[in-house]
Amino acid sequence: MIASQPEHMYTLAEGAPLPRNDTSVQVRNKQGGGLVLLQDTQLIETLAHFARERIPERVVHAKAAGARGYFEVTHDVSDITDADFLNGIGKRSEVLTRISTVGPESGSADTIRDVHGWATKIKTNEGNNDWVFNNIPVFFVRDPIKFPSLNRSHKRHPATHSVDADMFWDFHVNAPESVHALMFLFGDRGTPASLRHINGYSGHTYKWTKKDGSFHYVRIHYHADGGVKNLSADEATKLAGTNPDALILDLYNAIEAGNGPSYTVSIQTIHPEDLARCPVNIFDMTKVLPHALYPLRPVGKLVFNQTPKNYFAEIEQAAFSPSTMVPGIEPSADPMLQARMFSYPDAARYRLGVNYQQLPTNAAKVPIYIPTERDGLMTFGANYGSDPNYVHSSILPTTFHDNATSEYKPTEEVLQGPVVFTSQVTEEDFKQPRALWNDVLSKEEQDRFVSNIAENIAGVQRDWLREKVFELFSKVDTKLGERIEARVKSLLTKDSA
Ligand code: NDP
């Protein structure tokens, strides 16, 4: 904008002011017909821009709510991490969050039964730290090769272009390690009443590290300060029709009314020397760490108190990745985490372009200096001017963070073993779902679980596949399998009557 042009004066994209924006330029005949002209830049740009307004939708996590707020440290964790944003009680860091369903598309209803992804970007004094979590503590698979197949089985059938119960269950009976996550999906928590009332879980084990090379394995939990609240299956189905954006609007309106939610952030920790005594494989996302052995230790609060001013710019263009970490936090040898660290930035490069980290919503608040990554589509800014674009320049030496110096010791974790295809399913995979069924769910929650899952299984067309699903849940608990089978059969009899 030049000084002589007022702020809201209409211009073309290159700046030329025009007298109006509501007519095309036409050669008109006396009968009222008109031919538009290629020289009408305003018309051409208006049509061309409209055709390009959508960017590729996320293949998963397409439908989401977004909010801004802060993370505040409430408890001292300086004994296990030197991460700047986690140290100093009362310290606040700016946060951007995006909470989504997983399978359905951007235009789908919020209350469809699904896991909810919960991504949080914390803008710290040492760069961004992303926590890319879910609202359930476990995941369906522990081997990343299965990730695309899992998601396809939950999405649309290649022929009918519709969700398909046979495809869904065909995948899961052949990946029985998913039974624990299925117990959450078809439980009450599969249909949250509000994003203000969900918990969040890292699922993965991370390492929180100190300068002296010491570290702890850590799993992170968010607990909604307002408690967990869920919809019944009937309420969720009704809302999907009457108010498909119910959860997005609930969060937006609550924040606008000054009632934004807060969540307590806690961790479970394991010292590496105690790992051998741990009864579960902590690198397996299908398992939780039992609370009795690894109690929650509070760390801080997440508070959301600002709505996005522009959804596309701030939320749709936001890109989160489990690989975005700051000094003091490191990945563990969880194969799913390792693969997601590739996959999420790869998805962002496809969706937003190679320079997606330069977009204002993603940009770190600290100065970025990575002159060996430059150019590419949509390069903004000075692109490091004439600075060397190669490593080890003496003409303009680069300075480095002191975690490359002797004050910092690298964490040591010995990983060795044969190179194998792994991921066998064993009795271990059924113990935690069994504990959830027998020890955690109330009788009413059990009844609702059976009802929810039976409705879905009744949609399976193949008799032999339904039998396999009953067998899967019988391995969790014989009575559970029998109850599901009886319920499905009664639904099918009713349907055929
Ligand atoms: P606990 O009894 O200490 O933990 C049970 C946990 O289950 C609760 O703390 C709560 O976690 C969660 N929970 C409560 N009601 C429901 C519900 N209706 N649907 C889903 N989750 C619910 O025992 P353990 O830690 O030994 O875990 C036993 C089982 O509980 C596990 O096998 C797992 O299935 C489930 N669970 C365990 C979690 C963990 O991290 N240990 C977390 C969540 C579930 P929260 O406070 O996080 O809501």
Interval 161-198: pLDDT, tens: 999 999 999 999 999 999 999 999 999 999 999 999 99
Bridge pairing between strands 297-306 and 262-270:
antiparallel
Does 344 count as an annotated binding residue?
A: yes
Average pLDDT of span 303-330: 98
ipTM value greater than 0.95: yes
Q: Is 61 a catalytic residue?
A: yes
Can you name the residues that pair with 119 across neighbouring β-strands?
98, 132
pLDDT tens digit sequence for 2-23: 567 888 999 999 999 999 999 9
More confident residue, 64 or 406: 64
Question: Which is the catalytic residue, given 128, 129, 134, 199?
Answer: 134
Return the closest-CA partner of residue 233 out of 445, 496, 490, 459: 445
pLDDT at 333 over 60: yes
Cβ atoms within 10 A of the Cβ of 92, count? 15
Dihedral angle computed from the Cα positions of residues 391, 395, 398 and 404, in that order, rounded to the nearest 10 degrees: 70
d(CA 433, ligand 1 centre) in Å: 10
Nearest ligand 1 atom to alpha carbon 445? 18
296 lines ligand 1 (CB under 6 A): no
Q: Give the global pTM.
A: 0.95
Q: Is 288 in the pocket of ligand 1 (CB under 6 A)?
A: yes
Cα(266) to ligand 1 centroid in Å equals 14
Report in angstroms the alpha-carbon separations of 485 from 186, 219, 356: 15, 36, 49
For 103-136, write each residue's pLDDT tens digit: 999 999 999 999 999 999 999 999 999 999 999 9
Residue 260's pLDDT is: 98
The candidate with the shortest Cα–Cα distance to 77, out of 67, 88, 66, is: 88
Asked if pLDDT for residue 271 goes beyond 60, the answer is yes
Transcribe 172-197 into DSSP letters. HHT-GGGHHHHHHHTSGGGSBS-GGG
Q: What type of residue is 148?
A: P
What's the pLDDT at 341? Answer: 98
**Does ligand 1 have an atom closer than 6 angstroms to the CB of 290?**
yes
Dihedral over alpha carbons 155, 158, 164, 170 (to 10 degrees): -90
> Residue 62's pLDDT is what?
98
Note if 134 is an active site residue.
yes
Ligand 1 mutation target, pool 189, 436, 480, most atoms within 8 A of CB? 436
Amino acid 2: pLDDT: 55
